[in-house]
Amino acid sequence: MSITDLTSMGEPQAALRNEINDRLCKLQDEISDYCFQCAKCTSGCEAHKLLELEPHKMVALLKRGLIDEMVNSDIIWTCMSCFKCRERCPQKVAPVDVLFALKNMAVASGKQIPGNYTAMLQSVLSIGLLQDIKSVPTSENKSKNRLELGLPEISKPVDPTKFQMMLSKIAVEKV
C-alpha cells in the first residue's frame, strides 16, 4: 500500500474519478443553478485579496461545464477553507465544496500534488498522524519534547498494518 494507490498518481483510477465526477455533476446541476453571481462569496473570501481567488467565478465556470480547465489550474489550491463563502451565500451555494471536489479530481487524475500535501498524506499512511512528535524550542532556547514535559505517550493506531489495510480499501473500492 503506497501513496500512489491512494491518490491514483500512478495509473488513473476510473472508479474514484467517476465518483468525484458524479459529485461535481451534482454540484453543477443542483447548486450552480441557484447562483445569481452576487459575488458575496468573493467579497469575503480570505484568499481573494492575497491570491486572487474568485469563488463566484468558479461557480460560473462550473455552471458552464469548464471542469477540466479548473482542475488544471493552480488557483483551486489557493483556498484556505475558511468556509465564509459557504456561510454567507444567500442561495446556499458552497464554493468551498466545489473547490474541494475540484482538488480531489485533480489528485485522482494524476496531477502533481502541490507542496507538502504528499508528505502529510505519507505520514498519515505510515504512522496515522500528520507528523511525528517534534522537539520544540522554549523561550530560553532549550529543546523539549512531550515526555520531557510530563505528557503521556501519544495516541496512534495500535496495529499499523490493519490501519493501512483499511486505508487501502478506500483506494481500491469499486463504487
Partner 1 sequence: MKKYALYPGCVMPTEQYAYEMSIRETLPLLDIELVDLKGFSCCGEPIKSINQMLTLTLSARNLAIAEKEGLDVFTPCPMCHLALSDAKQILDSDPKMFDRVNKFLEDEGLKYTGSASIVHTLDLLHDIVGIDTIKEKAKKPLKDLKVATHYGCHLIRPSECGRPDDSENPQKMEKILEAIGAKPLYYPEKLDCCGGLLTANLPESALTKTGQKLQKVQEQGFDAFVDVCPWCHRQYDSKQTKAGETVAAKLEVPVFYLSQLLGLSFGISKDRLGFDLNLSPVDKINLGGKKNEQ
The rounded distance, in Å, linking the Cα atoms of 40 and 34 is: 14
125: its cell numbers: 499512511
Residue 100 within binding range of partner 1, rule CB under 8 A:
yes
Cα 121 from Cα 109, distance rounded (Å): 17
Under rule CB under 8 A, residue 1 binds partner 1: no
- Grid coordinates belonging to 141: 532556547
Which of 51, 54, 60, 73 touches partner 1 by CB under 8 A?
Answer: 51
Q: Does 77 bind partner 1 (CB under 8 A)?
A: yes
Q: Which of 14, 38, 166, 172 binds partner 1 (CB under 8 A)?
A: 166
Nearer to partner 1, 64 or 82 (CB): 82
SS3 143: strand
Q: What is the 3-state secondary structure (H, E, C) of 63-77?
A: HCCCHHHHHCCHHHH
Q: Name which of 59 and 94 has its Cβ closer to partner 1.
A: 94
Q: Which residues contact 80 (CB under 8 A, 6 or more apart)?
A: 46, 47
Rule CB under 8 A: is residue 54 a binding residue for partner 1?
no
* Interface positions with partner 1 (CB under 8 A): 6-7, 19, 46, 50-51, 77-78, 80-84, 86-87, 94, 100-101, 103-104, 107-108, 113-117, 120-121, 124, 128-134, 136-140, 144, 146, 149-152, 154-159, 162-163, 165-167, 169-170
